[in-house]
Structure formats: C-alpha cells, structure tokens
Structure 1
Amino acid sequence: MTVTIDPDASFLDSALADLATYTDDSFDGWTREVLSDPYRASREVVANRMRQAGMEVHIDAGGNVVGRLPGRAAASGVNLKPLMTGSHTDTVRNGGRFDGIVGVLGAIEAVEALRRAGIELERDLVVVDFLGEEPNEFGISCMGSRSMAGVLTPEHLELPGTSGITLGKALERYGVDPNRALKNSWGPDSVHAYIELHIEQGPMLERAGTQIGVVTAIAGIDRLLARFTGRADHAGATPMDARQDALTCAAAAVLAVEREGCGAPVHGVATTGRIEAFPGSFNVVPQEARIYAELRSTDAAWLNGAKRRVADEIAAEAERRGVAQMVEWLTDQDPVPTTPALRDHIAAASGDLGLSWMAVPSGAGHDAAHMVHMGPMGMIFIPSVGGRSHCPEEFTDTRDIVEGVRVLAATLVRLDRTDKIAA
C-alpha cells in the first residue's frame, strides 16, 4: 500500500516565506492575530494557493477558508463522506511562522503532490484554514472549528473583548454573520476522517531523534482568573504583620499553580501567564491583584483534582492574610483522545515510507479537538527545533515538513481506500 509521493520542498519554503510577510511589524517575530488586517490579507493568499492546486474555494458561514478537491465518486454521482485536513494561519502575538501554518500549506502541497503522482481519490478532499485557532481578546480559541463542529454558542458571541465590543460584533465587522456562524455545523458523522499535520511545539520528537509523532490525545485546558482584594496602605509606615497585601496573596497563588504542574503525572502542566497589581506604586501596599493561569493535561481526573486543590490553596492563603478572593474557571476544552484506527493508519503510513515514529500526546490545543464531533480524528506531529513554539525562535526544518506532508498524503490515500473507520 506504499504511496510514492514527492512534496516540493521549494514550494513549501516559498509559501512559508510568502505568508510570513503578512505580519503586524509593530511587534517582534510574527504577529498575525485573528480579525486583523494582516490576517485578512494572508487568507486571500491561502485561498489563491488552494485554487492553484485545483480546489474549489469558498469562505463558509464560520469564516473558514474551505477548499474542496472533488473525488472520482462525486463525478459518478456516488455520495461518499469526504476526507478533511487543515489547520490555521493566525498566530499569537510575537509568535512564529510554523504553528498551524505548516498544516494548511502542507495540506495544499499534499493535494499537489497527489496530483503530480497521478493519484485520484474516490472521496472529496476538503482542506480548511480555520478561523482564529489561537486565543484572542475575547478569551475563546478555535472559533472557526467550533462553528463547523456546531459547538460555537450564543454565549461565546456575547463574550466582551478588551476593545469594548463583543465577539459577535467583532465578527460582524470582519464580515462574518454571527447568526449564520451558529448554524454552520456539518453535523455528527459528516466526515470520513479528519487528519491534521502540525509541528509538535515541544521537544519529545527531537530528543528521541524520531521523525513522526502519532498523536494519542489532545490535552484538556482549564483556565483560571483569580482576583484578590486587600487594603491599600503606606508601604513605609504599615508594619508587615498589619498588612492585607493582595499582591503577596497573588504571588502565593502563582506558586500554588506551579506546584500542581510540578506534581502532575506525565503530560500535565500548569502555567501562570499574567499577573496584575493595583494601584501599582512602589510606596503603596497593593489593594488589588489578579492572576491568569491555566492547567493542561490529557488526564481528566488529574485536571479536576488539580482545579480543586488550587482553589483550596488560594482560599486558605487569602483567609490567612485577610484578603478577599474570587476564583473563576473557564474550561477551554476537555481532553480529547484521537481515534485509535487513525493512529494505526498514520503509524502504518510512516512505516511504509521508512520513517521512524512514536506515540506522543499533544499538550497544545488544536482545531482537531473540535473536529472529533464530525467523525474520526487524528494528528501527525513533526519535530520542533529546540521544542520552541509561540515565539520568534519557532522553527521546523523543511526536510521534516516534507516528510510530514508525505505521511499526510499517504494516510489520506489509505483512508480513502478504507470503507469504514472503527471509532
């Protein structure tokens, strides 16, 4: 069942370099945040590359760029569920030029490579550049995949942003009708399989000297906002034992979050990404403080326990210091296992191509986590140099991208020849 395909390394290099020019140059690295002008312009480039690869292209009601390569069955009037692949092209602020982007441009090159090899699929192949995978000012990630999967909600659209408008209003200004986005669902069991190619964003593959990662599960993410209210006092005249210092209470909470991550089972992590204090003067004991943190793991039981322990530690420390506290949790997603049968196909395709592979979890969130609502789901990882991601130093060698595209294309061919995929 070996499929001989030859992805074009020069195309991948030039496409990555081209897309990297669409960035907000007021920030270091590459910044192409969702709904921004650079993002809008870059997606037109993606749509044109899909057209050049022979796909029919449209923007769906959820703002996703959708390319479709018709299969032979459709030409014969036979209705088969399509195969789907893709990722995203938005970035975090001060980010890199590979995260998500490799999955979109790699999918387009997989289409080209299959065509060059004279391989026609029976099923339609759908390639998607999903709208806004990265978290944004509204506190929601994976907007386009949520819409397509039918898990975007009216409550999401009412989320306020830092600019003073809601997500729904921001989508409307961007040209996406929020009401239509809520009705964009393909429905359950609507795709034969969804496969996403992605950089690992961690060090496991590079450390092991392994070429391909077969993803076992996508981590669940629980995000925390903790607010602390103490009392403002003169920093020079107030004794240490008479203070109600909101910031020291917040600092203790940061350490509580870190302890949970350090004590987690394998693939569990905890991070505080932001801390604020008010009034923010050298000579005033802080009256208010906030921390923004998150817990991630593929183990739902650990996540639930960690949430409880962190909240209990925060409450106990605040009581000891005489500081009021309020904890809010936002579950971004539950842990999502990939489909075992798709893992087997990815592993077999890698082996057929003579590539080394290993099973790995994903600590990052992905659009694939929502595609599981539409059918079997799997992910292919390729190495990240130094395990770096979400920073300007993010890098994946072109040779690794080429091998990832080869595995993606070979897996799509295997799946096209499989009548039914076991859940």
Structure 2
Amino acid sequence: MTTPSDFAALGARAAAMIEELGALSQTPEHLTRFFLTPEHRRAADLVARWMREAGLEVSEDALGTVRGHWGPVDAPRLLIGSHIDTVANAGKYDGCMGVVAGILALDAINRAGLTRPYGIDILAFGDEEGTRFPTTLSSSAAVAGYFSPANLELRDADGISLREAMVAYGKNPDDIPAAAYDPNRVIAYIEAHIEQGPVLEAEGEPLGVVSAIAGASRLSVTVTGEAGHAGTVPMRMRHDALLGAAEMALAVERIAKADAHGMVATVGRVHVEPGSINVIPSRVVFTVDLRSGSDISRREALTRFEREAHRIADLRGLGVVISAFHEVATVPCYRDLQLRLRNAVADLGHRAVTMPSGAGHDGQAMSRLCPIGMLFVRCKGGISHNPAEYASPEDMGLAVAALVRFIERFQLPQLAA
C-alpha cells in the first residue's frame, strides 16, 4: 500500500502535525502541557479534529482520553495509542508522535479503502507523565478498567484535587467506570513511541520492537557515620558516611553492568549532613533507581546490593538502612505482536532492533486489559524530556508505514504470550 514516496509524505505530515501540537503550551517559551489544563483541552480538541479529518468517529471519556473509532462498531477492537501530556519544558515528540502516527496510519487505511473484520480505536491519553498529580497512567488505567477512586482526592502543587480538575475540565468523576473497555472485546494494544535512548541511533536502524517495559525498584539508602573535624581526625580513624555511600553507589553500578538483561541503575539524589566544608559527613541519604527487563534479575540485583551495602558499612564502621518506596513489575510485550511488528518493519526493508524499554509507558496500564506491543522510533542523540528531543520525518514516515503494514496483515488470531 505504501511506497518510499509515501513514507516521505507521511513523515512530512507527521512533522507538521507535531509542530502544531507542540505550539499548545502553558507558556510560549517552552512546551509544558499538564493533564486536565486549558492547554490539554486545546491539544485534545486539535487531536479530535485530526481524527475526524481522517474519517474517524470521535468520543472522549471522563478522564479526557480522546478516542477515534474506525470500522465495524460492534466488532472487537484493536487499540493504538499514546499520550499528549508532557513534562515541564518538554520535547515535542514524546507521546505525541505515537498519537499522530496512529491517526496517519488510519487515514492511509481509509484512503486505500481497506476493510477489516475488527474495529480500530486510536487513543490519545492525558496522564502518562504524572507531572501534575502524584499519580501516573490514570487515564490509561481508566481505559483498562482499574482506576483507583482514591486518586480523585490527590492534589496538585496548587492544592487542586484530581476530582476538582476533572469538574473544571467539564467531566463527571462518576462517569469514570464507563471509560473501561470490555476485555472480551479488545484484541490488543499497540503503541508507537520515540525510543528516548541512544540504541537505535547506535545500531543505525530507524525502528525497534520492544520486548518488555522494564520493571523498576526505587530505594532510599541512609548511611550513618560520625561527624568530626576535617583537619584533626586521621583518615584511618574516620567513619565518613559520604565515602561509604560513594562506595555503595559504585557497587550499584557494578551490579547493573554485570547483568545480562539490559539493567540500568541510577543514583539520582544525594543529601549530605551536616554539609559543611570542614566537617566529616555524619549522615547521607541517597536514592537508587534500578530497572531491568527481568523481574528475577532485578530482585537478584536488589539482594546483591543489600549484601554489598552492609559489607561496606561493616568495613567502614557505618550504619546503613535500605528502604524500598517504589516497585513496578516488568511488563512483557506479547511475542506474537513482536513478531508481527518485526515482519512489518522487514517489509519496509529494515531490521527491527529488539530491545527493552527502560521508560514507563501507557502500555503498562493497558497490559491489564489486553496483550500489548510497542514500536520504537529512533530519536536524535537518545535525548528525551528535553526541548532538543527530535525524530526525523523520514523515521516517522517509516513508523506510520509499519503500522499500516501491521494492520494490513493483522487478522483475529489467538495471540501467543
């Protein structure tokens, strides 16, 4: 259905749409578009207009997810989507590219007059980033049927509750249960997304297929030592909490590098007390963010780190307390969907790199509803959550074409996990 000249046209349209969507921001200086804000409303309206222009019927649920419906109304649904909310001072492509790609794919399907024995819904979620309220994936959780009513009382930085924000947005919180799909009538969920990392660029390939969305553990580590005068306590007699914490941080790095499942580990926050230039640190609190495509591997790494941290503390005469404050399980992508996406990319003359996603996505919530698959698109320098974020029109055109190929060949299978 699509040719190289079509790829270029699709990519050019995607780039123009992303620029238009990227102009809808809280401030003109940079892109900031939080959940259930006036700029979210404008973005949702623009997406709805594009869906209608592509020949889709449009609806919107209680948590603001815009839905474009194609095909037989009573047929099972294939879902394709991503999100249109952003972090503060964001790039234009994270989430939005996937929504635009889905719309353009359905537009191409419509123009070709293709019919299918199933329907397709394009979904534009609004709360993937979790930047306004202390929750995340609430819009996709509602679609998947497991939104927690307790989240309605969570408040943003201005003291506005999610419930109040919904009402101001023109929604009724009592309608949230109606947002859920019947799992017996959903086939699968597919999401196209920029990689947000450097692997595809390093591999020289425009597209990748995600094997799993990595599970994540976050720890708070408190190391206690003894304060002392920086000039009078000999090195051999010190109990320096910061040096112990630094050695533990290096242990985390070693553990992640030795893993075979693409594990990544980050010590992103360190607080040192008393924080004086001439006092030996007596207490350090640091965080560990550990992610892996294997839950077993991640749990084993946590055990190894705890053992190493206590060994280091014992050798240095320190105390250490480790507490977990965040835990998300790995979400595998269905092998059948991975294969179909790889075949779609191969049809376009490219090799799809199979890789895990270290970042979270709406697919994590949608996996509780149906099988999921993800297509990654190369981004320049692996940069994301940054105004420098960029995916080329050529790569985006290929992503749209891959979605079209996927739909052309997709039947109603018994999907294999």
TM bucket normalised to smaller: 0.7 to 0.9
- What does residue 14 of structure 1 align with? 16
Q: Secondary structure at the match of 1:46?
A: helix
Q: Does 1:328 align with 2:324?
A: yes
SS at match of 1:222: strand
Aligned residues of 1:83 and 1:412 also touching (Cα < 8 A) = no
Other structure's SS at 2:185 match: coil
Q: Deviations over 1:393-413 (max 9, x none)?
A: 322110110010011122123
Judged with a 3 Å threshold, the aligned counterparts in structure 2 of structure 1 residues 194 and 330 are, in CA distance, closer, same or farther, namely: same
Separation (CA, whole Å) in 2 of partners of 1:114 and 1:15: 18
Aligned partner of 1:47 in structure 2 is 48
User: How many Å apart are 1:102 and its aligned residue?
Assistant: 0.9
C-alpha deviation, 1:194, in angstroms = 1.5
TM-score scaled by structure 1? 0.83
Structure 2: how far apart are the matches of 1:68 and 1:157? 28
**Alpha-carbon distance between aligned partners in 2 of 1:275 and 1:20, rounded to the nearest angstrom:** 34
**Which piece of structure 1 moves more, 231-240 or 149-158?**
231-240
SS in 2 for 1:85: strand
Instruction: Find the counterpart in structure 1 of residue 371 from structure 2.
Output: 376
d(CA) in 1 for partners of 2:222 and 2:174? 33
Unmatched segments (≥5 aa) in structure 2: none
Kept in 2, the 8 Å contact 1:189–1:374? The answer is no
> Compared with structure 1, are the counterparts of its residues 385 and 239 closer, same or farther at alpha carbon in structure 2 (3 Å cutoff)?
same
Q: Distance in 2 between matches of 1:22 and 1:234?
A: 55
Distance 1:285 1:172 in 2: 53
| Cα distance in 2 for residues equivalent to 1:280 and 1:42 | 45
- Residues in 2 aligned to 1:162 and 1:241: alpha-carbon distance in whole angstroms: 47
Identify which of 74, 87, 96 aligns with 2:91: 96
CA RMSD of aligned residues (A): 3.4
- Report the TM-score when normalising by structure 2: 0.84
Matched AA of 1:418: L
| Secondary structure, counterpart of 2:69 in structure 1 | strand
Q: CA deviation at 1:253?
A: 4.1
CA, structure 1 residues 184+244, in 2 after alignment: closer, same or farther (shift >3 Å)? farther
Q: Which amino acid aligns with 1:113?
A: A
- The match for 2:139 is 144
* 3-state SS, counterpart of residue 19 of structure 2: helix
CA distance in 1 between partners of 2:27 and 2:279 (Å): 37
Change (3 A) 1:257 1:177: farther
- Name the structure 1 match of 2:65: 64
Query: Is 1:362 paired with 2:357?
Result: yes
Residue aligning to 2:25: 23
* Deviation, structure 1 residue 301: 0.8
Shift of 1:68: 1.5
Change in CA separation of 1:270 and 1:42 when aligned onto 2, cut-off 3 Å: same
Is the 1:190–1:374 Cα contact (8 Å) retained in structure 2? no
Residue 291 in structure 1 maps to residue 286 in structure 2: yes
Output the CA distance in 1 between the equivalents of 2:219 and 2:157.
18
In structure 2, how many angstroms separate the alpha carbons of the residues matched to 1:399 and 1:294?
Answer: 34
Percent of aligned pairs with the same amino acid: 36
Deviations 1:249-307 (A, max 9, x none): 54444333323222221411111223334565545665654333311111111111112
> Residues 249 and 323 of structure 1 are in contact (CA less than 8 Å); yes or no, is this contact kept in structure 2?
no
Secondary structure of 1:361's counterpart equals: strand
Give the superposition deviation at 1:167. 5.7
Pairing 1:185–2:187 present: no
C-alpha separation in 2, matches of 1:374 and 1:64? 16
* Structure 2 residue 213 is matched with structure 1 residue 213: no
Distance 1:150 1:227, change over 3 A: farther
| 1:102-142: CA deviation from partner (whole Å, max 9, x where unpaired) | 10011111122222222244432211111221243655432
Equivalent residue, structure 2, for 1:418 = 412
Q: Give the drift of 1:238.
A: 7.0
After superposing the two structures, state which structure 1 stretch, 334-343 or 187-196, moved more.
187-196
> Within 2, Cα distance between the matches of 1:139 and 1:115?
40
Aligned partners of 2:187 and 2:370 also within 8 Å: yes
| 1:255–1:413 distance in 2 versus 1, CA, 3 Å | same
2-structure distance, mates of 1:150, 1:253: 41
Aligned length: 413
Q: Which moved more, 1:322-331 or 1:336-345?
A: 322-331
Q: Unaligned stretches of 5+ in structure 1?
A: none
Residues 244 and 318, structure 2, Cα contact 8 Å, conserved in 1: no
Question: Post-superposition shift, 1:22?
Answer: 2.5
1-side partners of 2:222 and 2:215: how far apart?
23
Query: Pick from 389, 395, 403: which aligns with 1:394?
Result: 389
Structure 2 Cα separation of the partners of residues 66 and 283 of structure 1: 60
Q: 2:341: which partner in 1?
A: 346
